[in-house]
């Protein structure tokens, strides 16, 4: 059962087609990653899913019904560029955003205080937002996203601009929400993150979905000819070797693509013969980064190393 | 349309406006300021304690004696603010006299020198020398005495009764009677002018102030990206409606506070205005004024909010505001000029032109007797304007609030209207 289905979404801005006939499915209870480089169409797709933009074509279906206000009430949304009313007090901010979702009263107030306590903001609840540090403002924004207990959490580039403490905090929130059966959808250009967090994904490039499915399935499909290697020594002899199609250095690990899927044993033998000190040899492994490069080419791919 | 979300936006807007310093200051200070201005004008008109030293020179003895007698027995002397010196001299002597007195005139030890030549008996022309010869107040007050002397002298060797002389001496007194349908004729001073200045001025100030405030607020939401979070909960139309209604209701509240002293002046004896500027205001006028104001606020707040949505910083927005400013300023000046000339054709037409009617009609209503149907038509025009501009304004708003970066050209804004957003 799909919680959310995106069907043939298309959005054009003047002559630019930002999203081109995009379709993907978000399963119940999953952490879904929408992956692509900057400007690939992630934000536009998400905005159309949220009803912030009207699509030129296509639709978004929530459990069999076209999305509308009901979906908006069930979503907690954290946009890439975050903002709050500077002059509002912390507690007022929380109440206001919950009220926009149709939730108000004692219950929400109590819950807001619980979250504030948990995130170490309780003693600041009567401060104005502008008097909070940037990190605390980010925390406050997380709370506004989840306070109304949404079924869906949509995060656009959630880790951009977060300090390590808040990065961890947000990761915890995401995992906790998953445990409670919520659907989490996030977009990122950081493959590393996506690989560690999501279980389903769609890759978007130049507005088109170039890959979709569950992470393990996708990896299995693309991994057969791949070996990831950690070693000490000299492997330059592999460069023009007949069984090797391509070598790529990712810093800590090296990705090796073989010509045939049954040549992994041969490669290991070769490395041992040449007295390369093999620390880790992982056949049938491939990173999302490699898959992405394979599908979309190398231009402009973000290779920043980020760790969750 | 008016669901929980709109109400939430509405409440926040009202709260934010009412607790803002600018709003509180304006609400309290503006009436004080207005009454201050009126007070200062009254003070200036009642000329205060200024002393006038005036030399009066006549060419003939007889004329001199008569003018001296007239002025010495006048109420001016009793007030004690006027001090006269009397001389008799020929034209040549007067020239010398004037040269001697020049320094004193420049130092304002002497306010002025009046010379009454014999020829004045034919052409009533007298000369007045002063550092500030255009002092209307002085000439107005002295005129009737000099006139009386000249007339007395002129007719003295003809056979007229004192009554006949009295008649000849009198100026004409225009007493204004306002013609109204209901209560026959009412004697009227400048009251209705004062009221119409007041109405026009308050309307103008409030439209601009509330307009600026909502524009700033839209820009804040846009530039701080709050709007995207909000739009994940409400749609752009709900957001715009909530904001505008919140602002408009706050504006209405402020206007009610401002009008309270006006109503009190009319209905109680707490403040006493001089009869000349005392005005009447009917309940109908107040009701029309407030309804018209509320509709006007909705229309103009819509425009200001739209301009705010087009730009992402206050500077660009200010410079892009001119079309809206024209819609406020031009009717404002028409209303002001109409107060000088209530029957001007421009004002008559402007009272029924969309946008302009909002500002011109209240002023017109206070000066002239405007038939009920015209008031209703004017409100109808405002409503029609509202329904005509909101689909467009809403479209531009919806596209605009998510746009940042390059300052858009007007041609692009026109294209937004066609976008499917």
From chain B, the residues in CB contact with A79 under 8 A are 225, 228-229, 232
Please report which confidence band the pLDDT of residue B379 belongs to, taking 50, 70 and 90 as the band edges. very high
Please report which confidence band the pLDDT of residue A249 belongs to, taking 50, 70 and 90 as the band edges. confident
Please report which confidence band the pLDDT of residue A300 belongs to, taking 50, 70 and 90 as the band edges. very low
Residue of A52, A59, A84, A137 best to disrupt the B interface, most CBs of B under 10 A: A52
Closest CA of chain B from A197, distance in Å: 24
Q: Does B8 touch chain A (CB under 8 A)?
A: yes
- List the one residue out of A225, A230, A233, A205 whose CA is nearest residue A292: A205
Indicate the CATH number for domain A2-218. Answer: 3.40.50.300
Q: Verify whether the Cβ–Cβ distance B4 to A99 is below 8 Å.
A: yes
Please report which confidence band the pLDDT of residue A301 belongs to, taking 50, 70 and 90 as the band edges. very low
From chain B, the residues in CB contact with A53 under 8 A are 402, 421
Q: Verify whether the Cβ–Cβ distance B234 to A100 is below 8 Å.
A: yes
- Indicate whether B386 pLDDT > 60: yes
Give CA angle at B217 (B213, B220), nearest 5°: 140
**Residue ranges of domains in chain B, CATH in brackets:** 4-42+185-416 (no CATH), 51-172 (3.40.190.10)
Please report which confidence band the pLDDT of residue B172 belongs to, taking 50, 70 and 90 as the band edges. low
Q: Does A54 touch chain B (CB under 8 A)?
A: yes
Q: Does A11 touch chain B (CB under 8 A)?
A: no
B40-44, B98-102, B109-113: least confident range: B40-44
Residue of A67, A100, A158 best to disrupt the B interface, most CBs of B under 10 A: A100
State the count of interchain CB pairs (< 8 A) between A and B.
Answer: 70
User: What does the pLDDT look like over B31-57, one tens digit per residue?
Assistant: 888 777 767 766 666 555 567 788 888
User: What does the pLDDT look like over B121-135, one tens digit per residue?
Assistant: 778 788 888 877 766
- Which residue of chain B comes nearest to A49, CA vs CA? B232
Please report which confidence band the pLDDT of residue B355 belongs to, taking 50, 70 and 90 as the band edges. very high
Please report which confidence band the pLDDT of residue B13 belongs to, taking 50, 70 and 90 as the band edges. very high
Please report which confidence band the pLDDT of residue B64 belongs to, taking 50, 70 and 90 as the band edges. confident
- Indicate whether B174 pLDDT > 70: no
Q: What pLDDT sits at residue B176?
A: 56
Q: Average of pLDDT values for A86-97?
A: 93
Angle, to 10 degrees, between the axis of helix A164-179 and the axis of helix A134-146?
A: 10
* Residues A146, A122 contacting (CB under 8 angstroms): no
From chain B, the residues in CB contact with A69 under 8 A are 235
Residue B404, helix vs strand vs coil: coil
Overall residue count recorded for chain B in this entry:
421
Q: Verify whether the Cβ–Cβ distance B233 to A79 is below 8 Å.
A: no
Q: What pLDDT sits at residue B304?
A: 96
Q: What pLDDT sits at residue B7?
A: 92
Q: Average of pLDDT values for A129-148?
A: 92
Closest CA of chain B from A51, distance in Å: 7
DSSP assignment letter at A124: G
- Indicate whether A308 pLDDT > 50: no
Closest CA of chain A from B26, distance in Å: 20
Q: Does A250 touch chain B (CB under 8 A)?
A: no
Q: Does A211 touch chain B (CB under 8 A)?
A: no
Q: Average of pLDDT values for B214-242?
A: 92
- Side-chain-side CA neighbours of A69 within 13 Å: the count stands at 12
The burial of B211, by beta-carbon neighbours within 10 Å (0-12 exposed, 13-18 middle, 19 or more buried), is given as buried
If one counts every other C-beta atom within 10 angstroms of the C-beta of residue A172, the result is: 10
Is domain A225-283 given the CATH code 2.10.240 in the classification?
no
- Token look-up 């009567």 returns A126
Which residues lie closer than 8 Å to B17 by C-beta, 6 or more apart?
Answer: B23, B213, B246, B247, B250
- List the one residue out of B219, B227, B411, B209 whose CA is nearest residue B311: B219
Q: Verify whether the Cβ–Cβ distance A73 to B233 is below 8 Å.
A: yes
75-94 in chain A: CB under 8 A from chain B? 75, 77-79, 81-88
- Indicate whether B420 pLDDT > 80: no
Closest CA of chain B from A84, distance in Å: 5
Q: b or e along A252-262 (b: 16 or more beta carbons within 10 Å of the residue's beta carbon)?
A: ebbbbebeeee
Q: What pLDDT sits at residue B393?
A: 92
Please report which confidence band the pLDDT of residue B189 belongs to, taking 50, 70 and 90 as the band edges. low
Q: Does B132 touch chain A (CB under 8 A)?
A: no
Average model confidence (pLDDT) across chain B: 83
Q: Does B16 touch chain A (CB under 8 A)?
A: yes
Q: How far apart are CA B303 and CA A190, in angstroms?
A: 42
* Residues B14, B250 contacting (CB under 8 angstroms): yes
Q: Average of pLDDT values for A67-85?
A: 89
Closest CA of chain A from B300, distance in Å: 24
Q: How far apart are CA A267 and CA A259, in angstroms?
A: 11
**Token pair belonging to B260:** 């309270």
Residue A214 forms beta bridges with which residues? A200
From chain A, the residues in CB contact with B226 under 8 A are 83-85
Q: Verify whether the Cβ–Cβ distance A84 to B9 is below 8 Å.
A: no
Looking at per-residue pLDDT, the higher value among B70 and B184 belongs to B70
* Residues B58, B82 contacting (CB under 8 angstroms): no
Q: Does B283 touch chain A (CB under 8 A)?
A: no
A108-122, B59-73, B146-160, B282-296: least confident range: B146-160
- Indicate whether B250 pLDDT > 90: yes
- Which residue of chain B comes nearest to A101, CA vs CA? B233
- Indicate whether B163 pLDDT > 80: no
Q: Does A149 touch chain B (CB under 8 A)?
A: no
Closest CA of chain A from B203, distance in Å: 28
Please report which confidence band the pLDDT of residue A146 belongs to, taking 50, 70 and 90 as the band edges. very high
Q: Where in chain A is the domain with CATH 3.30.70?
A: 225-283
Q: What pLDDT sits at residue B188?
A: 55
Q: Verify whether the Cβ–Cβ distance A50 to B231 is below 8 Å.
A: yes
A168-172, B48-52, B113-117, B225-229: least confident range: B48-52
Q: How far apart are CA A132 and CA B259, in angstroms?
A: 41
Q: Where in chain A is the domain with CATH 3.40.50.300?
A: 2-218
Closest CA of chain A from B225, distance in Å: 5
**Token pair belonging to B348:** 């008559």
Q: What pLDDT sits at residue A305?
A: 40
Element holding A29 (H helix, E strand): none
* Residues A213, A261 contacting (CB under 8 angstroms): no
Q: Average of pLDDT values for B74-86?
A: 75
Q: What pLDDT sits at residue A22?
A: 92
From chain B, the residues in CB contact with A97 under 8 A are 229, 233
From chain B, the residues in CB contact with A72 under 8 A are 232-234
A143-152, B61-70, B210-219, B271-280: least confident range: B271-280
Q: How far apart are CA A132 and CA A124, in angstroms?
A: 8
Q: How far apart are CA B251 and CA A28, in angstroms?
A: 49
Please report which confidence band the pLDDT of residue A160 belongs to, taking 50, 70 and 90 as the band edges. confident
Q: Verify whether the Cβ–Cβ distance A102 to B4 is below 8 Å.
A: yes
Q: What pLDDT sits at residue A26?
A: 93
Q: Does B5 touch chain A (CB under 8 A)?
A: yes
A99-103, B99-103, B272-276: least confident range: B272-276
- Token look-up 């020829």 returns B119
User: What does the pLDDT look like over A24-71, one tens digit per residue?
Assistant: 999 998 999 999 888 889 999 999 998 888 888 999 998 888 888 889
Give the whole-number percent of chain B exceeding pLDDT 70. 86
Q: How far apart are CA A34 and CA A216, in angstroms?
A: 16
Q: Name the residue facing B226 among A51, A84, A104 (closest C-beta).
A: A84
Q: What pLDDT sits at residue A303?
A: 43
- Which residue of chain B comes nearest to A97, CA vs CA? B230
DSSP A199-215: SEEEEEETTEEEEEEEH
- Which residue of chain A comes nearest to B235, CA vs CA? A52
Q: Average of pLDDT values for B289-316?
A: 93
Q: How far apart are CA A198 and CA B334, in angstroms?
A: 66
Q: Average of pLDDT values for A278-297?
A: 79
Question: For chain A, how far is it from start to end, CA to CA, in angstroms?
Answer: 30
- Which residue of chain A comes nearest to B221, CA vs CA? A85
């Amino acid at each position: 059962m799909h919680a959310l289905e995106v069907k043939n979404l298309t959005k054009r801005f003047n002559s630019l087609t930002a999203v081109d006939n995009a379709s993907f499915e978000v399963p119940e209870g999953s952490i879904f990653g929408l992956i692509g480089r900057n400007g690939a169409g992630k934000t536009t797709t998400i905005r159309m899913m949220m009803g912030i933009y009207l699509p030129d074509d296509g639709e978004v279906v929530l459990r069999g019904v076209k999305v509308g206000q009901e979906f908006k009430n069930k979503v907690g949304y954290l946009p890439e560029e975050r903002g709050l009313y500077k002059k509002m007090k912390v507690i007022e901010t929380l109440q206001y955003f919950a009220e926009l979702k149709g939730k108000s009263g004692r219950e929400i107030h109590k819950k807001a205080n619980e979250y504030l306590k948990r995130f170490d903001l309780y003693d600041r609840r009567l401060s104005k937002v502008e008097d909070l540090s940037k990190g605390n403002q980010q925390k406050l924004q997380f709370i506004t996203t989840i306070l109304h207990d949404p079924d869906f959490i949509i995060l656009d580039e959630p880790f951009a601009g977060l300090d390590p403490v808040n990065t961890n905090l947000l990761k915890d929130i995401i995992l906790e929400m998953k445990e409670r059966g919520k659907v989490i959808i996030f977009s990122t250009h950081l493959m590393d993150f996506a690989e560690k967090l999501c279980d389903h994904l769609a890759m978007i490039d130049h507005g088109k979905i170039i890959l979709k499915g569950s992470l393990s399935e996708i990896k299995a499909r693309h991994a057969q000819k791949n070996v990831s290697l950690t070693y000490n020594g000299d492997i330059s002899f592999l460069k023009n070797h007949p069984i090797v199609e391509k070598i790529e250095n990712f810093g800590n690990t090296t990705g090796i693509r073989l010509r045939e899927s049954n040549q992994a044993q041969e490669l290991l033998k070769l490395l041992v013969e040449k007295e390369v000190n093999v620390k880790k040899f992982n056949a049938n492994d491939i990173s999302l980064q490699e898959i992405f490069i394979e599908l979309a080419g190398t231009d402009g791919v973000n290779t920043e190393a980020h760790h969750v | 349309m008016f669901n929980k979300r709109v109400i939430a936006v509405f409440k926040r807007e009202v709260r934010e406006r009412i607790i803002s310093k600018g709003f509180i200051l304006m609400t309290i200070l503006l009436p004080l300021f207005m009454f201050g201005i009126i007070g200062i004008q009254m003070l200036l008109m009642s000329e205060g304690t200024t002393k006038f030293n005036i030399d009066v020179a006549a060419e003939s003895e007889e004329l001199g004696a008569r003018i001296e007698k007239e002025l010495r027995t006048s109420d001016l002397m009793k007030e004690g603010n006027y001090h006269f010196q009397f001389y008799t001299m020929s034209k040549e002597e007067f020239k010398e006299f004037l040269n001697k007195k020049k320094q004193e005139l420049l130092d304002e030890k002497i306010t002025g020198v009046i010379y009454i030549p014999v020829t004045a008996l034919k052409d009533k022309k007298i000369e007045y020398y002063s550092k500030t010869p255009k002092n209307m107040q002085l000439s107005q007050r002295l005129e009737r005495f000099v006139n009386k002397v000249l007339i007395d002298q002129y007719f003295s060797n003809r056979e007229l009764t004192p009554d006949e002389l009295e008649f000849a001496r009198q100026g004409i007194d225009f007493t204004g009677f306002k013609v109204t349908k209901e209560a026959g004729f009412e004697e009227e001073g400048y009251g209705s002018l004062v009221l119409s200045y007041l109405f026009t001025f308050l309307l103008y100030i409030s439209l601009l102030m509330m307009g600026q405030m909502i524009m700033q607020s839209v820009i804040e939401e846009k530039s701080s990206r709050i709007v995207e979070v909000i739009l994940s909960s409400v749609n752009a139309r709900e957001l715009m409606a909530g904001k505008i209604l919140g602002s408009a209701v706050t504006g209405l509240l402020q206007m009610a506070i401002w009008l309270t002293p006006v109503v009190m002046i009319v209905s109680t004896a707490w403040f006493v205005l001089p009869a000349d500027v005392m005005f009447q205001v009917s309940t109908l006028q107040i009701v029309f004024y407030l309804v018209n104001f509320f509709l006007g606020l909705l229309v103009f707040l819509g425009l200001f909010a739209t301009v705010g949505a087009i730009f992402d910083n206050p500077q660009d927005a200010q410079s892009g505001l001119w079309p809206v400013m024209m819609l406020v300023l031009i009717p404002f000046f028409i209303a002001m000029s109409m107060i000088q000339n209530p029957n001007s054709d421009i004002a008559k037409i402007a009272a029924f032109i969309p946008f302009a009617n909002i500002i011109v009609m209240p002023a017109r209503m206070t000066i002239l007797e405007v038939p009920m149907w015209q008031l209703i038509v004017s409100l109808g025009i405002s409503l029609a304007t509202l329904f005509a501009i909101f689909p467009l304004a809403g479209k531009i708003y919806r596209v605009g609030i998510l746009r940042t970066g390059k300052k858009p050209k007007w041609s692009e804004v026109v294209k937004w209207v066609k976008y499917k957003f």
